[in-house]
Each structure stands twice: as C-alpha cells, then as structure tokens.
Structure 1
Amino acid sequence: MQSNLQKTVVSAAIGLALAVTGLNSHAAEWTWKVQSLWQPGTTNQKAFERFAANVNKMTGGRLEIKTLPVHSVVKHSETLEAVGAGILDGHHSGGAYFAGKEAGLQICTELNGAFENTYQAQLWFEYGGGTELCREAYAKFGTYYVGPVWFGQESMPFNKPLHSIDDFKAKGIKMRSPEGMGAAIWRRIGAGVVTLPGSEVFTALERGVIDGTDWGTLSMNQELGYHKIAPYPLYPGF
C-alpha cells in the first residue's frame, strides 16, 4: 500500500472502518486488510464478504478488500489502534468496544434507548450531525469514520428466566457486554459485567462464566447456537 494513502476507519452500529483514499482511473490496484468482528461463516461475515466483492467489481478490480474474520491479526479490542498504526487498513466493528478509550465512540454504535428503530438512527447520522461527530471522535486515533452499518433489533439470551429488573441482582446475573454505555446500564441494574468477544460467548455460557449476552438479533444468536444453552431471550433489546 502506498505510504501517502490517508488512513481511514469505519465503525458504527457495527460499523465499517477502512483505510481510505481517493480513487481515480489512473490509480494502481490496492489490497486492503480489513478485520471484522464476525466469526468465519456467519451471516454477518458473509455480508461483509459480499460488500468487498461489490467494491472490487465497482472499482473495476482496482481495489481488493481482504475480509479477515475476528482475531485474524489482532484481538477484537485492538483493531482500532491497529488501523491507526497501519497494521490493518480498516476494521468492521463497533464503537462500543472502544468506548473505554473514547466515550464518544459509543454513539457510533448505538445510543442505548435513544431510538425506536434503525431508521431513526440513520436519520440522525445523515441529518442530525451523527456522522460528523463520529468522524471527529475517530480522527483522534488517526482513522476516518465512513458510516454506520445496521442490523435488526437485538435480543438477549439468558440461561434462566428473568421477570423483572430486580431479578438481575437477585439471581446474580453475569452479563456479557462491551464496555461503554451498555455495560454501565447492566451494572446499574445489578448485573455483573464480563467483556468477551462474540467468538467466546458460547463456551462462556456453556461453562457458566456468564448467564446471558448482549450480542445480536434473534437470528444471529440462533446461528451461533446460544438458544441451546440460553433458552430465555429478552426481546427487544435496548
């Protein structure tokens, strides 16, 4: 990759971060290494691979994006710094995983309880200044925020039934969650918080390290088999 290319990052409601530069008809062919948050073979990883294939086609083969699954080069919690340092050319991840380093990155993934649906969130990014705020936050890491990537309403699977907020504390619930606003909410209602990548959630549930997880939609959770050992989903998420 040419040394004068501008670093860029994407991240969002599971965003996409890329090391970006302007393309023109005389540009040489580039190959970018972009690591995602997703496990190999999952629906989200396949969607990312389709995105990369579309980019390659639309640039006439000049730009190839290597779609690396979670932990291919660095840990899921290290991709932001890896992009800024040039180890990766981009990441497809979520700002909440880096909110401990910059609190403002939380809004680039989600504002818990702020929107009723993804349409409202997208409107805020496009017309309410959300994209500009995220670009300002990501610039502190030498990266560039491209924009958000959305999926449906999340569901949270648990290994025991929960009927009220009080149950989180009364039943000693240990919750997998990224650091940031979500983790603060779980602690506030009495749950213990454990930070894990999605690739370790099934084993953690199976071994009783956690009782539930904030991960993805009903279909995303079922694809990874969470329903087999955590058959009590809370829906919708917040």
Structure 2
Amino acid sequence: MLEKLLSHCGSGFAVSAIALAAALSSVTPVSAQEAFHLDMPTNMSRNSYLGEMAQRMTDDIRLATGGDIDLKFHEDGELIPVPEILNAVSTGAVPAAFTWTGFFGGTIPVGKYFAGTPFGPDTEVLASWIWEGGGLDILQKGFDPIGVQILPCAAQPRESGGYYNKEMDSLEAYQGMKIRMSGWGGEVLTKLGASVVALPGSEIYLAMERGRIDATEYASPLLDESHKFYKLAKYYYFPGWHQSTAWNSLIINQNTWNQFSDEQKAQVTLACRATVQRTMAETIPLQIDALNRMKADGDFEVRKFSPELIKQIHAVWLEVLAENRAKYPLIDEAHASLQEHVKRYAPWNELQALPAGLE
C-alpha cells in the first residue's frame, strides 16, 4: 500500500513518507496498563444532586482511562458509616472514597480549611489558589501522614444559612439551640452557646422531625431540595456565612494511588478538574429553580440574616480562626498562603471594575 501511495506522489513527499514509515516501524507498542475496579463509599445519596455529580465523575474517570479505572459508587452508609470513611481509606479497608473533608477535621485539621471556610473568598479565587497558588500542596501535607492522596473534585457555591423554627435576630438566639452544623461553622456556634451536632445528610430529617435537633444547615437549595428539610422549618435563612465554597474530594489510599501509572494519575486528575468546572458552571443557575420548587411544596419563609448579626458572627469567627492558626501550623500556613493569593486578585479587579448601576 505504501508503494502505491508513493507512486502517486512527488519525490519530496516520497522521501518524507519513507521516513515516516521507518519511524513508525521502530515504535515499540505500549503495554496494556493495569485495570482497577475500586469501591468508592460516599456521604451522598444516590438520587441527590451530589450523588449524581459523584456518579458523573466516575463516568468521566472511566472515560478518561479507557475503562482501566472503574470506581463503584456507594451511597451514604451503604458500605461503611460516613464517620469511618477516612480511616477506612487510610488503612486500605476501602481503596477510595468521595466525600467532604470537613467531616474529618479532628484527624486532619487543615481539611477544615479546604472543606469550606467561613467568610472566605468565592469559588473562582479558591480554585485558582488550590491549583495555581500552592493550596493543594498544603492540603496534601495534611493527608500524607495517614497515607491518603487527595484530589479536590467538585465545588459548590456559598451555602444557605440554614433552617430554623424561630427568628434569628440576635446572637442570643443561638443560646441552647441544638443545631446540625459541620466544620468551622460549628465551632463558631459552639462559642455562641449552641449545642452543635454533626450528622450526615441522610440522618438530618429524622433528627429534626424527632426533636433531636432544633435547626440545621446542610448545603444550598439545589442540594437541600431532595432532603426536604424545608418541610420541618418556618424560616430558611441566607447567606451561608459559614461556608463560602463547599469542596468535595476524591481520596485514594496512597498504596493504591502509587499503583496507578503516571498516565492514569494524570487522567484521574483531569477528570476531577472537569467535574469542578461542571459544578461551577451548572450549580448557580439551578439554585433559584430549586428554591422556587421548595416554596411551592412547603410553607416556610425565606429570610436574610441582618448585617449587624453577620458582623457580630464574623467577630466570633476571627476568634476561632486565630485559635486554629495558633494550634495547627498547617492551618496557619494555608491561611497565610490564601490571603497572599487573594491580594494578587485585587489590582486586576480594581482595573476591571465597572461603574455601579449599569444594566
């Protein structure tokens, strides 16, 4: 066939074709990469937006790796209880998991900083810091001692402020309240006299229905809708001061990760970043649609925390942050690094600022 091709070509092309043919004949075929079929427990319900997002991520990984890495999604509590996920991945009892690292702040304190920081910058800035500002390197330092590789794989926008059955008009309203709250937001409310309970999403409704908790936050309307917390509350408050961005991450046992080829590691990382892009692109436009459906199905009132209350809560947050920075060197390093990255945005934002009031 090559001879036939050359017979129809000029001499210059023929020389190039011969060279190409010689080069191709010298290429050594790449050996097939090892295939991995891995269980992946999560803290997510299969039929929720988060569960669907996690399943699409596994599809992307399967596609990127040509099926060589196949992660089997297990919903909240199906394979192991959510509080045991990190230890299970660390010990190799399960090879991987997809979860919110704020659940494990007691074991990996810096994980709280990445799970969702109160009064933090928006998702665009945080994503930039994680991949271009050294944030991921700091996060990985926290997980290295327990033999876990971490890949931030999905970003959710600022959460709602939560569901309450009384008006939240002062700091005193938190006194004695039993509230589901995770991460650093829980530490702030504990300082305000609340009794904070950390529960996975699947347990919140029943706990609120039976009076084990008086109030709850979980996520944003798009994620809250399927759990129907709004059926039990009089008020749905905004903004979610406690979590500017909620990151969900793929965590992989380090021994398993090290068995992946360099190409497979790059493919998994690429699929994770694609999931981040997808969640950033689709979640904001869907929030009000979800909120409107909730309003049509429930009897609750949407409220906003007053500016005065937000300022008072912020002051308490600064105390919590200072305590954590003093106690945990990696949190101190992460905070200093993020603030430096935020400063890099300021001059550009100033140059690009448009006058207020434009339509």
User: Is the TM value for this pair above 0.5?
Assistant: yes
Q: Which of 54, 62, 82 matches 1:48? A: 54
Q: Secondary structure at the match of 1:119?
A: helix
What pairs with 1:87-106 in structure 2 (closer than 5 Å)?
87-106=93-112
SS in 2 for 1:222: helix
Aligned to 1:202: 205
1:185 alignment partner in structure 2: 188
Shift, 1:118, TM fit: 1.2
In structure 2, give the amino acid aligned to 1:77. Answer: P
2:168 is equivalent to residue 168 of structure 1: no
Q: CA deviation at 1:126?
A: 2.0
* Counterpart for residue 123 of structure 2: 118
For residues 86 and 203 of structure 2, the distance between their equivalents in structure 1, rounded to whole angstroms, comes to 20
Residue number in structure 1 paired with 2:41:
35
Residue 149 of structure 1 aligns to a residue whose secondary structure is strand
Query: Hey, what's the Cα distance between the residues in 2 that align with 1:127 and 1:232?
Result: 39
Higher helix share: 2
Give structure 2 stretches of 5+ with no counterpart. 1-29, 242-359
Amino acid at match of 2:131: E
Query: Equivalent of 2:235, from 232, 235, 238?
Result: 232
- Deviation of the 1:142 alpha carbon: 0.7
2:262 is matched with none
Q: Distance in 1 between matches of 2:86 and 2:150?
A: 11
Paired amino acid for 1:165: L
The answer to whether the aligner puts 1:141 opposite 2:141 as a matched pair is no
Aligned partner of 1:216 in structure 2 is 219
CA distance in 1, matches of 2:97, 2:236: 29
Question: CA deviation digits over 1:41-64, x for unaligned, max 9?
Answer: 111101111111121122212221
1:11-22 matches, cutoff 5 A: none
State the AA in 2 paired with 1:202. Answer: Y
| 8 Å Cα contact 2:38/2:70 also seen in 1 | yes
Partner SS, residue 73 of structure 2: strand
CA deviation after TM superposition for structure 1 residue 161, in Å: 2.3
Identity of aligned residues (%): 24
Q: Post-superposition shift, 1:190?
A: 2.0
CA contact (8 A) 2:43 2:76 kept: yes
- Partner Cα distance (1:124, 1:231) in 2: 38
SS for the counterpart of 1:92 is: strand
Give the superposition deviation at 1:214: 2.5
Partner AA of 1:182 in structure 2: G
SS at match of 1:166: helix
Question: C-alpha distance in 2, partners of 1:140/1:94?
Answer: 19
Alignment-mate amino acid for residue 221 of structure 1 = D
Q: CA RMSD in A?
A: 1.6
TM-score, with length taken from structure 2: 0.56
> Does the 8 Å CA contact 2:49/2:222 hold for their aligned counterparts?
no
The 1-side partners of 2:96 and 2:112 are apart by 18
Cα distance in structure 2, aligned partners of 1:230 and 1:129: 41
Decide which of 126, 129, 133 is 2:134's aligned counterpart: 129
TM-score of the aligned structures, taking structure 1 as reference length = 0.83
TM-superposed CA distance for 1:25, in Å, is: 5.8
Matched, 1:152 2:157: yes
Task: For 1:59 and 1:148, locate their aligned partners in 2 and report how far apart those are by CA, in whole Å.
Answer: 16
Q: Residue 67 of structure 1: CA displacement? A: 0.8
SS of corresponding position for 2:93: coil
Q: 2: distance between equivalents of 1:166 and 1:148? A: 38
Aligned with 2:155: secondary structure?
A: coil
